[in-house]
Structures are given as C-alpha cells and as structure tokens.
Structure 1
Amino acid sequence: MNDSDRRWYDEEAGPLVRLYAVTAGRARSGSEHLDLMTVIHALPSPGYDPMLSPEQAAILRLCSPRPHPVADIASDSGLPLAVVRVLLSDLLEAGLIRATEPVPPAQLPEARILRRVIDGLRAL
C-alpha cells in the first residue's frame, strides 16, 4: 500500500465522515442569517431532549449560562463552522435557541460621542 492509498484509512478520515453524519449529509444551514457575530441564546427547556444529538446538547449547554456568538460556539465546541451553522439551524427550527443579529456598524454610536460620554463619566 503506498502513501496515497493510506490517506483514506488513517485517523484523519474518521472525523470527516463523522461530521458528515452529524449534519445528516447537509453542508448548508437552512438559516442563512447565522453569520459569525450572530448571538445565540439558549431558551429555557423542560429538560434533556433525547432527540438531540450530543453535539446539539453540548451547544445548548454552552449557551445556557450566557449567550455566545456563532464564532465562539464553533471555537469552543471544536466543530467546523459549517457544521455548527447546520446544528444551530436545526436548534433554531426546534425552538430551542434564539438568534440575535449583530448591530450594523451604521447604527452604532459615533466614536466622538462615546469619547464625550467617557470624559463626562471620568469628570464625575
């Protein structure tokens, strides 16, 4: 067996197949509005749902104490971003999470106004 044949049988092939299985073969989420900075809030639930995958349950546990951005969920869970988006889409559809869009930069206060507020607070 040469090196090109071995690459499909080594340890690295396992997680790729598993991630495909975790998302039921889907590579795209049903919710295209889940960008990196979308904040995910876990909603109160009556208890453990046996229909959840272990990865979905881990995401809910991660977001239960406090909301997390999608990018942090991917980083903290160790799952690829595309997989996290698919799982979050399923959780959103099941009503187990709420997604809050980030504030567009045009709606944020201007830096000069924030500086004046900080200067005013320091003067107190």
Structure 2
Amino acid sequence: MSADGQGSSHWFDDEAGPVVRPYAMTRGRTTSPGQHRLDLIAVVVTEPQAQNPEADPTLAPEHVEIVGLCRQAPQSVAELAAELDLPIGVVRVLIGDLVHAELVHVTRPVPPAELPDESILRDVINGLRAL
C-alpha cells in the first residue's frame, strides 16, 4: 500500500518514484577486494589510461560517473557518495571495481599518528616569524 492508501507496488514511492535496491548496482556484493583501504576520506584519482570508460560494456553507469567525477578533480569517498546520492557501502564496492579495472587509484590519507606534533609546527612558525 502506498502512503495514500491505494494499492501500489512496494517498489514505487509516489513522491520519490521507482526505487532500486542499492545491491542491484553491485550485483549483490557488499564488499570488494580492496575495500578495506576505502575509508571516508580516502581520495579517488582517475588513472591517465581511463580515457573512455563509456566504451567498456562491463561498467555500470555509476562506474562511468565515478570516473568522470574523479577526472574533473580527485574526490573523497564521502564526496562521491554525496554526489551520486548512493550509500557509502555501494560506492566502496563500485570504487573497488574501478581499482581492480585499473581505471582509478586510491590515495590514503596520512594517519593522525604520522602527522607532525602541533607543538613542533608552532615552534617552526614561531622560528620563521623571528627571522
């Protein structure tokens, strides 16, 4: 039943239109081989050889859109999910497919433990100001 009380398919929302389950885009997969590296702030960059992903019949429209967005400028996983209006889990699987196809690569952010200590940065700034 729809919200207005009339019988309608549970795959259709009168306000939102047809609904496609996210796992349909990933062919039922919920993980991909390289997904463990895809945290929300990981940055996705299009590979130079990814000239014409539209010609690849194995890629879904969402794959092609991710390559196109990252070609314009590198995007984080969170930015891609927001731009595509898809759940993070779906975007991670799609990016994993693109990494496997060597159309994109993912750069991992620097872990906080490897960043310089804030006090060291302050000392450097103060030293530069003293010059």
Normalising by structure 1, we get a TM-score of 0.81
- The answer to whether the aligner puts 1:98 opposite 2:102 as a matched pair is no
* Cα displacement (A) at 1:28: 2.0
Judged with a 3 Å threshold, the aligned counterparts in structure 2 of structure 1 residues 54 and 116 are, in CA distance, closer, same or farther, namely same
Q: Which of 82, 96, 99 is 1:89 aligned to? A: 96
Q: Which of 62, 69, 81 is 1:62 aligned to? A: 69
Q: Which residue of 1 aligns with 2:84?
A: 77
Q: Quick one: percent identity of the two aligned structures? A: 42
Q: Which of 31, 34, 38 is 2:42 aligned to? A: 38
Q: Which has the higher helix share?
A: 1
Q: Which residue of 1 aligns with 2:29?
A: 26
Paired with 1:60 and 1:123, the residues of 2 have a C-alpha distance of 47
Q: Which amino acid letter does the alignment assign opposite residue 22 of structure 1?
A: M
* Cα displacement (A) at 1:9: 4.0
Which sections of structure 2, spanning at least 5 residues, go unmatched? none
User: Are the aligned partners of 2:11 and 2:19 in contact in 1 as well (CA < 8 Å)?
Assistant: no
Paired with 1:112 and 1:91, the residues of 2 have a C-alpha distance of 40
Q: Which amino acid letter does the alignment assign opposite residue 106 of structure 2?
A: A
Q: How many residues align?
A: 123
Q: Deviations over 1:56-90 (max 9, x none)?
A: 11111111132221111111221111110010000
Q: Which residue of 2 aligns with 1:107?
A: 114
Paired with 2:97 and 2:50, the residues of 1 have a C-alpha distance of 18
User: Are the aligned partners of 1:29 and 1:89 in contact in 2 as well (CA < 8 Å)?
Assistant: yes
Judged with a 3 Å threshold, the aligned counterparts in structure 2 of structure 1 residues 122 and 68 are, in CA distance, closer, same or farther, namely farther
Q: Deviations over 1:16-41 (max 9, x none)?
A: 33x33211111222222211121111
Q: Which residue of 2 aligns with 1:48?
A: 52
* Cα displacement (A) at 1:118: 3.0
